A and B are shown apart, each in its own frame.
Chain A
Amino acid sequence: MAEEYKVDLELDLKGLLCPLPMVRVSQNIKNVPVGGIIKAIATDVGALADIPSWARSTGNEVLATDREDKEITFFIKRVK
């Protein structure tokens, strides 16, 4: 559904647990330009709350969240 986004960086966060998914996203957000998009795939259900919270705290944006079986895919836009 969300595949229309132009992804600048893909992150495999499968198997990682709190706080690693959000930490990895925060470490990698600098690797995309402002306006760029990270596609991150996690399996930690806690990340469903953590990554949007992280985005609000840091002024970035979660464009879409896809949940398919155990995999949760986030499309995260670097806003600043």
Chain B
Amino acid sequence: MAEDKKKMAIAVMSGDMDKLFGAFIIATSAAASNMDVTMFFTFWGLRAIKKNERTGKSLMGKMMGIMEGGDINKADPSKYSMGGMGRWMFKKMMGAKKVATLPELRQMALDLGVKFYGCQMSMDVMEIPREKLIDEVEDCVGGGFFVEKALEAEVQFFI
């Protein structure tokens, strides 16, 4: 049964609220449609799988940890960011319509068997160690791993 499942591979580079919605909605829809889904979070996308904890070791790493602080709840929309106003506005509008929140969608993805991977190289650059990522992350890997998953998959996305 498991072998004949179709596969999807998603590289998530963006940490924008709207793009993360897109990524998690596609991932959960695919998993619900009986696909094996791999999500590879790289660079800004790491926000989606970060814990809400301070990161950074060096001075610049710490600065980045402050500027890019917070977890998935702190994701700003790619438009109308306005120093957090846009995030607040979208949360209000989405809440009024009862759209699932990003943390809810992420949990749903996990419940449906979607596998999360962190990009080791971006984690090194941004000084985000494994323990600062949520426990559910399978592993921290690199480009070769993602390319292998993408090759095996019928559908690939880069978001």
Contact = CB atoms under 8 A, between A and B. Distances in A.
Chain B: interface residue count, which band? 10 to 19
Interface stretch (A3-11, A20-28, A34-42): A20-28
Contacts of B29: 18-19, 22-23, 50, 54
A19 B98 contact: no
Nearest to A20: B100
Interface of A is mostly: helix
Interface string B31-51: 011110000000000000000
Contacts of A18: 25, 29
Nearest to B105: A19
B98 A17 contact: yes
A65 B25 CA distance: 24
B28 A19 contact: yes
Interface string B75-115: 00000000000000000000001111000000010001000
A16 interface: yes
Given A17-B98, A23-B112, A57 B34 contact: yes
A69 to B, nearest CB: 19
Interface of A: 15-20, 22-23, 25-27, 50, 53-54, 57-58
29 contacts: A16-B98, A17-B97, A17-B98, A17-B99, A17-B100, A18-B29, A19-B28, A19-B29, A19-B32, A20-B100, A22-B29, A22-B33, A23-B28, A23-B29, A23-B32, A23-B108, A26-B33, A26-B34, A26-B112, A27-B32, A27-B112, A50-B29, A53-B33, A54-B32, A54-B33, A57-B33, A57-B34, A57-B35, A58-B34
